[in-house]
Amino acid sequence: MKKQKPKLKISKKPFHYSLGKRGEQLAREFLSGKGYRVLENNYRCKLGEIDIIAEKGGRIYFAEVKTRRSERYGQPIEAVTTWKQKKLSQLAAWYCKVRQIQDAKIAFLIISILFKNNHFEIQLTEDVFY
């Protein structure tokens, strides 16, 4: 009987998508190690997407994860523009409305991940905007 060669599945998505997914997985593990309880991953609604929603100490955190391979275009945190901050605020309000969460203490996190020389650096920036 002739062995069949395994068929390779070639993703139609650009490579940066897999880099982003790896970064989000690292971010979830990092937050869990810091005492956060992850509530949602990649929460999607008609307004857009929130990478991670977590809880710690009675506060709900909405996290944006930015992953880069180099600093060629700046630090990952620099990609979270004023427009993106406004969008995250709208998404957080939508999430609280849909989940019927009232009077919740909310905050925003940015998790910057930089892959360098086969290792990664993670930087957590808490309460970056309101």
Q: How confident is the model at residue 129 (pLDDT cuts 50, 70, 90)?
A: low
The residue-averaged pLDDT of 40-52 equals: 95
Q: Is the pLDDT of residue 130 over 80?
A: no
**HSE (side-chain half, CA atoms, 13 Å) at 25:** 7
Query: 64 with 84: CB under 8 angstroms?
Result: yes
pLDDT attached to residue 33? 96
According to CATH, the topology of domain 15-126 is Trna Endonuclease; Chain: A, domain 1 (3.40.1350)
pLDDT digits (tens, 9 = 90+) for 73-83: 778 788 888 89
Percent of the chain with pLDDT over 70: 85
Q: Is the pLDDT of residue 93 over 70?
A: yes
Query: 50 with 92: CB under 8 angstroms?
Result: yes
Q: How many CB atoms lie within 10 A of CB 118?
A: 5
Domain residue spans of the chain: 15-126
The Cα 113–Cα 11 span in angstroms is 23
The length of the chain, given as a count of residues: 130
Q: How confident is the model at residue 17 (pLDDT cuts 50, 70, 90)?
A: low
Percent of the chain with pLDDT over 90: 58
